[in-house]
Amino acid sequence: MIKPIKNSVQYEAALSRIYTLMQKNLKANSPESDELEVLSVLVKEYENVHFPMPKPKPIEAIKFRLEQKGMTESELSEILGHRSRKSEILSGKRKLSLAMIRKLNEVLNIPAEVLIQAY
C-alpha cells in the first residue's frame, strides 16, 4: 500500500521504486503504471515542501523566455512599447509597470507572480 512520504528514508525508497518502475515497459492503466503516477505525485509534493525552488528574478525570467522563444531584445521593445524602456528595464534602472507585467504575461507567458517580485 502506498503511503504519504514523511521523511528522507521514505523519500529515498520512493525514488528507488520510481526508478525501478521507469526501467520497465509499463502498459497504460496497469497497476504498476498507476503506482508510478501516484509515487511521482507524492515525491513532487515532498520535494516542494522540503526542497523548494526559488522563483527566478523578473529580469532573469524575461531574458530566459526571450531566449527560449528565439526572440531578440528589439522584439522585447515592441512588447514594452519603447526602446529606451527596454534598456532601462533590463538594466534594472526602471521597474516594470502593471501594464508591462500584463503584456509580458500575455505575450511571453511569464507568470505574474514572477514578474511582480521585488528586484
% of the chain residues with pLDDT over 70: 100
Long-range contacts of 110-116 (CB under 8 A, 24+ apart): 110/61, 110/62, 110/65, 113/55, 114/55, 114/56, 114/58, 114/61, 115/58, 115/61, 116/58
The pLDDT score that the predictor gives to residue 57 is: 95
Label residue 81 by pLDDT band (50, 70, 90).
confident
Label residue 92 by pLDDT band (50, 70, 90).
confident
Contacts for 27 with CB less than 8 Å, ≥ 6 apart = 33
Phi, psi (5° rounding) for residue 60? -60, -40
Instruction: Kindly report, residue by residue over 9-60, the tens digit of the pLDDT.
Output: 999 999 999 999 999 999 999 999 999 999 999 999 999 999 999 999 999 9
The cell for 12 is: 529515498
Domains of the chain with CATH codes: 8-50 (no CATH), 58-115 (1.10.260.40)
